[in-house]
Amino acid sequence: MKKNNTLSKLYLYVAEHKKYLILLIVAALMANVFMLAAPYISGRAIDFIRGEGDVDFPMVIKFAVILFGVYFFNAVFTWVMTVFTNSLSNRTIEKMRNDAFEKISHLPLKFFDGHSHGDIISRLTNDIDAVSDGLLQGITQLFSGLVTVIGSLALMFMLNWKITLCVIVITILCIFVSKAIATNSGKMFRLQAQTTGELNGYVSETVGNLKVVKAFGYEDKSAEVFGEINRRLYDCGQKAQFYSSLVNPTTRYINNLAYISVGVLGGLAALAGHLSVGIISSFLIYATQFARPINDMTSILTQLQSAQAAAARIFALGDIEPEKSDDDFPELKEGKGEVTFESVDFSYDKKRELIKNLNITAKPGQRLAIVGPTGAGKTTIVNLLMNFYGVDKGKILVDGQDIDKVKRDSLRKNFGMVLQDTWLFAGTVKENIAYGKEGATDDEIIEAAKAASAHGFIKRLPDGYDTMITEDGGNLSGGQKQLLTIARAMLSDPQVLILDEATSNVDTMTEQRIQKAFLKMMEGRTSFIIAHRLSTIREADLILVMDRGRIIEQGTHRELLERNGFYTKLYNS
């Protein structure tokens, strides 16, 4: 994303809170007006100290009292400016984080299939924090610095325009040097943000699958890969810090040259009788104030460039095409649950054909099983049916309605799905089961758990249904997690049931109990059953045998065995 585009989008977020922005500008203006008044007042006081025995004490005391008041109000408005800066920054970041999460929630599944989950999480955490730090520093420096530079410049011109021109020339040199260095450091900060996301993604994968890493003795190799990414992060981070660290001392050196020039030229002007000592004092302070915002901006350049790189990664999410809008589509009308695939073509990778001319009809209440070797396209059927992916050609109908032309939420509410990969969140057992139905009662939750053969083990947990489950069900066995997801699906009471390897993580005896529960649950519902273990689909009304994205056989269990074809080989194996 281009730099200007990133900054303009960031400005739009800041501008949404105009009240805080206006109050911030007013506070910055007032704080700096008082700060700019102070050098002139101190200079006037100095002019009343004319020499030994020649001091106008009443006037010096008068200006000292005024100076005290000026600094007091400067402190008050500086505090007010800080308060509004924090409010503006925090509200902006809150909106950015909400929008980013909302955007991620509406991205198609293919985005998550092609991006590391750790990198996505990094955008919502590390990158957002980097933007927050940059905003807190940048906004304060921007408004107070702008007023200080303009005010100091105007007052210096009033005092002596010739010396002021000397200061401006040196300052322009300072800006060019800063820009040259900042260009290189900006590239490194963008690379640093990208590499940080890569590192977070790798850590997330490794920690999340640590059992597999240890089981295959992959610890050393894993550490080696981590070390390689970490070294790249160190290299780009070191270069970014090196370039950015050059800016501040360089600009301070050049600005000190300006300070020296003011002192020398002011001294010469004083000897010629053109300037008083008090005015020279004021001029020196104004020259320092004029240079200070530039020095301050360069000193926080690291945070600003890091924030800009982070913001670019966050806003990049907005450039990804979301799922097409379905606001104008009607709700899926309640029907009997007939599902039809008409001449469907689909491929994840357009260069590699997967499903070609697929035709399936599942009649209302029919139990339809899909079997085949790994990679045959079984789970892809589920992805297409739930409209997680759109078909390349053909259409899928539910009760005669094209699923591409109805609201996705209304479509998915009609499906109950139990997958091989269980998903539980940090919460109670009761909350995890109730996820399947909004407003579910305790009795409904318990009945669903009993139907899924989960009630027994739940009652043996320390707090029963109120037992807290750790993130991703870490304190439960694989079979227990699977039973809870089955109970969740049963609670939703769906029109169409999808079971994708739903009993793969349970033992044989538990599987038999669940099969009985499934048979009861499938009564009157259209059911799609995907399984490798063919024992789970014997009772299906129709079995579709898939290979390389095509249906090569279909029939009942007995009919397919009698044909002694591909299904028979699968069954015997």
Predicted local distance difference test score (pLDDT) of residue 298: 60
- Give residue 271's pLDDT: 72
pLDDT at 25: 83
Is the model more confident about 573 or about 196? 196
d(CA 263, CA 220): 64
Interval 345-361 mean pLDDT: 81
CA distance 2 to 504: 48
- What's the pLDDT at 455? 87
HEC profile of 378-421: HHHHHHHHCCCCCCCEEEEEECCEEHHHCCHHHHHCCEEEECCC
Distance CA(363)–CA(400), nearest Å, equals 12
Q: Which two tokens stand for residue 236?
A: 């780009």
pLDDT of residue 505: 61
What residue has token string 């805080």?
20
d(C-alpha 320, C-alpha 327), whole Å: 19
Other Cβ atoms within 10 Å of 520 Cβ, number: 10
Tell the burial category of 51 from Cβ atoms under 10 Å away from its Cβ (0-12, 13-18, 19+).
exposed
Of 264, 5, 285, 295, nearest to 177 (Cα)? Answer: 295
Give tens-digit pLDDT for 428-470.
Answer: 888 888 887 778 888 888 888 888 778 888 888 888 888 888 7
**For the purposes of burial, counting CB atoms within 10 Å of the CB of 99, is it exposed (0-12), middle (13-18) or buried (19 or more)?**
middle
Q: In this structure, are residues 185 and 240 in contact, taking their beta carbons and an 8 Å threshold?
A: yes
Task: Report the alpha-carbon distance of residue 503 to residue 514 in Å, rounded.
Answer: 8
Pick from 247, 341, 307: which is nearest to 14 by CA?
Answer: 307
Closest residue by Cα to residue 552 from 538, 537, 535, 566: 566
What is the pLDDT, as a whole number, of residue 52?
67
482: Cβ contacts below 8 Å, ≥ 6 apart = 418, 422, 502, 503, 504, 505, 506
Q: What is the mean pLDDT of the chain?
A: 79
End-to-end CA distance of the chain: 53
Mean of pLDDT values over 390-417: 84
Contacts of 571 (CB under 8 A, 6+ apart): 534, 560, 561
| Dist CA 204 CA 551 (whole Å) | 38
Give pLDDT tens digits for 82-102.
888 888 888 888 888 888 888
Residue 96, Cα to own-chain centre: how many angstroms? 9
570 has a pLDDT exceeding 60: yes
pLDDT in tens, 44-58: 777 777 666 667 778
Whether 76 has a pLDDT exceeding 90, the answer reads: yes
Residue 326: predicted pLDDT: 74
Checking if the pLDDT of 408 tops 60, the result is yes
Angle at alpha carbon of residue 82, lines to 76 and 88, rounded to 5°? 135
pLDDT at site 211: 63
* CA-only gyration radius of the chain, Å: 35
pLDDT at 50: 67
Indicate the DSSP class of residue 536.
Answer: G
Provide DSSP, 231-278: HHHHHHHHHHHHHHHHHHHHHHHHHHHHHHHHHHHHHHHHHTTSS-HH
What's at 356, amino acid-wise? K
> What is the pLDDT averaged over residues 509-519?
70
Q: How far apart are CA 179 and CA 441, in angstroms?
A: 64
